[in-house]
Structure 1
């Protein structure tokens, strides 16, 4: 809580740094856990990524801009594939689905395909991007709590590997479209397992009171299985699916979720004689946005999840007839895309505000904001940032980085130490913006969205171009 019932100025610690933000011994230091792997400072203090400095990027592509380290993205994708494959080899195998909702464009889809991952999409638009990139249909899963008939038809005509079913109405819709097309639709049942992940309310997705999936406690998940099995000619039940939330830093929630999902899996085998070949444990693995975050590595996640799957299946007779271990799948999105990207801004104004009671706030305004990163306003998310265009020996100054939009909640970085000589014209880089920033972006205040610039091997190129005012006006037919 950042407020107090008697007013914000009465809140303990108001005007000072949060408890996790220490006074920096070097305000120019880059914490490696926050940045893509090729980021460094050159001799003049400029930030470099993929061998290209940010002043050059700003000059060529403008600001604000999302800058993605292609090698870092690919390396994180490979790490999930390789570090999960080894521990799961003896368990039954594993598939890694990149969650496209984190960020998706045709270039990203091609990188994901190149690195041997599958792809999870949750709309007809995301599926269209995958189709444009030529992503193999059998390695695509379609999500969504309210899929339209057109989206279901699009998915079945393309031949996606699975559709995650979210409602009873959807079972009937998929069956009807599959009948019309003369195909058998591969489906999974999304199960609400009743696990409350320790994360923000809006990104916790497995507790009972939310819109996704079939309730396990209410018997709806078991009923969904029965309804699907009643249409064997057009519906192919591949398995069970769960997702407990996002920005999660330990596997305890997955353990409870897997236990309940495996119990239903065994129940299906016992009651219906059906051995479901797949099980999806979801994603939601956290990343470091600030120094307070300590995420698990893909290797640690792979080993811990494989161990809990092995342990839970052993509890119901691992390897015994009737309880074969299905092939497991996971869905990292943020954990791959998030750290691979930073947003580059130019400072427009620096303003000191007297808060009274001897307190002062420094506001650093940049040429972007909540239209390119709404997470601070939406989720109360914390970010870090650094002076990116030069070196500074100035003392640290606690600052708040804000956007250019006509909203007092337009905050990019709530609290960060920047050099005391920060000034208009400087470049600031905000790490960890590869997930849910471009994908949640808007045209608020009729602000064209920034480009996505990919950097690799000393070369920078646009993979999503900057919107223009002409783009905005082209939609206005009034």
Structure 2
């Protein structure tokens, strides 16, 4: 497990109550009682109604960021005489409501498993506006994608060329495909988030792109859209994308000399601010930087600028989310002549695995009140029987934080709910959407009864009757 120990302890903030606008959902404020308010609903009301832990997602922020991202790439593409297709990367967080929000904002949907595909289809996403990723798609998944008329399938390996071609031929269809290529560009990110270096599981090496592109074209049941690359995640500027595009365009030009290659897909991975020290470049400047590099590379290779495609996820949904917890115990621990306060909450690595996986940083605040107490160095930890069960490795809360306080962790809209789990038989929390002062459940939470019902080794008579007390899954659902 990755270490969560910070090499440098940041300086204490002037105000441990402040909500940095770059980190918290747009429009998040404190009301007159000091409670954090998101989407017009205060944190205390949400916790009382739905319990904690609780994922909270500001619907309007998701919709606004989806549209802003689409417009940014479309505008940048038009500036170089092209157009852009923007997919929402469902792996960041997918539900029926999310699919509807992003498709209504004009985005397509990118999925990477049969389960994600099923959600997208059930939520009404048109099949022709869905793309399918994955390094090990099963034959059943491929056949389902072809059967429903999916807009594109990303071929992640040489073997998938034949598998998709055969499935399409059996179905009497011509399936549009992209070829995923490792450009060799290493994103400035955590090792496990970098996805375009050679020694990893995704894609094919760049030196085989022309050969495999020709093999795709040899199949009458396949339509070759172009090359695809994804260089990593949580990337703050356009430099890596620009370099990757320049490398891909050499292969693109060689393939274009034989027949037109209509598209170039540069994936996603655009970063967000988890703490005030994070400074991601605005998406408009990233889009412009990528477009400028593509135009120059196309000119150098003597090829027309292709249609562009992108797959943002985190940048759309991540900043829209917070997670609410209730404080249980507080344990001061001496460290290097100071004190660190271990603040234990009622969730942990079962609802936010990113800190344990990647050493991810987060920002925490008391959500139910404000305090004039001095900031105290804290580590927010969960309730699991695991020393790596850390939610916020290094943060500050008012020194008078106490059991029963409600705390909020910012920027948890992406990769928290999708990575949630039942470690130590802890039920997964619900997801509540807030907008214009209204709240509703968009993903129901689990109960202990749900966990026991899945255990085939338990007699039905040994399972407790469903509780009549309020559960975290109660409330109006969408």
Do Structure 1 and Structure 2 share a fold, with TM-score over 0.5? yes
Deviations 1:264-283 (A, max 9, x none): 1100122xx21111110111
Q: Distance in 1 between matches of 2:88 and 2:371?
A: 39
- 2:277 is the alignment partner of 1:280: no
Equivalent residues of 2:327, 2:343 under 8 A apart: yes
- 2:61 is the alignment partner of 1:82: no
TM-score norm. by structure 2 comes to 0.93
Tell me by how many angstroms 1:306 deviates.
1.3
Q: How many residues align?
A: 454
Tell me by how many angstroms 1:411 deviates.
0.4
Tell me by how many angstroms 1:224 deviates.
1.5
Tell me by how many angstroms 1:137 deviates.
1.1
SS at match of 1:257: helix
Tell me by how many angstroms 1:154 deviates.
1.2
| Aligned mate of 2:208, from 217, 220, 224 | 220
SS at match of 1:157: helix
Q: Distance in 2 between matches of 1:384 and 1:56?
A: 21
SS at match of 1:275: coil
Q: Which residue of 2 aligns with 1:266?
A: 253
| Aligned mate of 1:143, from 133, 138, 149 | 133
| Aligned mate of 1:61, from 50, 56, 69 | 50
Equivalent residues of 1:49, 1:455 under 8 A apart: yes
Equivalent residues of 2:339, 2:377 under 8 A apart: no
- 2:360 is the alignment partner of 1:360: no
Deviations 1:74-113 (A, max 9, x none): 1100101112211211431001111000000000000011
Q: Which residue of 1 aligns with 2:287?
A: 302
Tell me by how many angstroms 1:220 deviates.
2.4
SS at match of 1:407: coil
Tell me by how many angstroms 1:221 deviates.
2.0
SS at match of 2:92: coil
Equivalent residues of 2:128, 2:151 under 8 A apart: yes
Q: Which residue of 2 aligns with 1:329?
A: 309
Q: Distance in 1 between matches of 2:133 and 2:198?
A: 19
- 2:366 is the alignment partner of 1:387: yes
SS at match of 2:22: helix
SS at match of 2:440: strand
Deviations 1:157-192 (A, max 9, x none): 111110000111111111111111111111000011
Bigger shift: residues 295-304 or 39-48:
295-304
| Aligned mate of 1:45, from 22, 25, 34 | 34
Equivalent residues of 2:231, 2:241 under 8 A apart: yes
- 2:471 is the alignment partner of 1:471: no
Equivalent residues of 1:38, 1:69 under 8 A apart: no
SS at match of 1:33: coil
- 2:328 is the alignment partner of 1:345: no
TM-score norm. by structure 1 comes to 0.93
SS at match of 2:223: strand
5+ residue gaps, structure 1: 318-322
5+ residue gaps, structure 2: 458-478
**Structure 1 segments of 4+ aligned residues over 4 angstroms from their partners:** none
Tell me by how many angstroms 1:132 deviates.
0.7
